[in-house]
Amino acid sequence: MPNGRLALAYTCKSCFEASPKRRLCSPIFARLPARRLSYSSCPWFHATASQVDGISWEDPMHFNLKMTRRDTLKFALGTASAATLARWTHTAAAAGTVNFADIGVGDPGGDWSRYTQSSGYGVNLVSIGNAPSAILNVLVAGGGTGTYDIINIVGGMQKPLVDNNLIEELDISKLPNWAKDKNISEFLASGTPGFQFIGYEDKIYGCPTVLQGDSFAYLPEKTGELDSYAALFDPKFKGYVALEDNYTTAGQKTALYLKASGKADIRTPDDMTAEEFKTVIDFLIEQKKAGQFRVIWSSFQQAVDLIVNKEVYVIDCWEPMVFVAKSKGINAVYADPKEGYLLWAMAAYIVKNPKRSPEQEAAAYQLLDFMLGGWYGAKITT
């Protein structure tokens, strides 16, 4: 786990079993000594958002999106079929299957056997995009509420999901591992900065799985060493830069850059005013029109391909994409930006489906509880 950036499991009991060389637990709230993101090992080190210097919390996506059928038709039709079969773990004796839609970082290498042994259910893992519009489109127009049991996406999207009646409020009494984890009660409870990733209007909707600090990746053979988000907008790399199709990542990293460089007066990048928000959008539109960006990527595999094929030299992306690129022999580096990191958290939501059987519902809750366990967290991050 290079640089120790990727957060591991909530329950540390099993972490050592899954990864004897990486005894780390999460969500670990990061700090930046010498501009380096670090996670502590057990006993856990904790730092609240107010104690973290140089890190911005990802905006919890305070959307006011009430989707209508007409609205969904405005989105690209391709997103309705964005979910494609990635991996199916099922046994002949399994009582059924939980359909699990994931953005690309929640697959424990196809090994759901521990869950299957305890629940009797298999897992059908399906790839889904992370752009808010794509997620809403798949669920509303693409029949996703009747297809998926759980969607595992970046947390913070509760408002549009709840407003459109797409997800269930979680009954945490059905999640034994929830009460065992002091991190959840201390850092993700109502009134804490972390609650914005899992809750809405004092109700809990998302089951947290991973916390991480994001920056960007680059190919040093093409760029030299980089340590600033300024690289995303450097004219030297015009046409060889890619951004994620998600405002809460690309937009806020841009805000971090504009604030640190003095190019814009932005007080708090993770809680911008309407005017500050407009400043960031206008800047990005200007950059796009100038041809700075080769592509705006929208899937895990697309981003990996851009790096591996060296179509871009600098890319706003997630660190696991760099891990994959390295496994393919590419010398890609995940930057330590002087402006700081963007913190985000994964959240798994139970999709609202009135036709789901009580047995299927119970299996979905069992899967969420499994994801709160130490083995799963360690496995998906090593």
- Note whether 96-168+171-204+351-381 and 213-342 share their fold: yes
Half-sphere CA count of 166, side-chain side, radius 13 A: 30
What is the band of 282 on the pLDDT scale with cuts at 50, 70, 90? very high
Model confidence at 32: pLDDT above 70: no
Tokens encoding 350: 């139970």
Separation between Cα atoms, residue 83 and residue 76, nearest integer Å: 14
* Separation in Å, CA 189 to CA 207, 333, 360, 381: 12, 35, 28, 24
Instruction: Compute the C-alpha angle 49/209/10, nearest 5°.
Output: 80
CATH classification for the domain delimited by 96-168+171-204+351-381, as one of 1.20.1050.10, 3.40.50.2300, 3.40.190.10, 3.40.50.620: 3.40.190.10
DSSP, collapsed to helix, strand or coil, labels residue 205 as coil
Q: Which residue has the tokens 């979910």?
A: 83
- In the chain, the percentage of residues whose pLDDT exceeds 90 is 57
Least confident of 66-80, 177-191, 262-276, 318-332: 66-80
Do 214 and 319 form a contact (C-beta atoms < 8 A)? yes
Domain borders along the chain are 96-168+171-204+351-381, 213-342
The fourth-level CATH superfamily of domain 213-342 is: Periplasmic binding protein-like II (3.40.190.10)
Q: Pick the residue with more confidence: 137 or 86? A: 137
What is the band of 221 on the pLDDT scale with cuts at 50, 70, 90? very high
- pTM summary value: 0.70
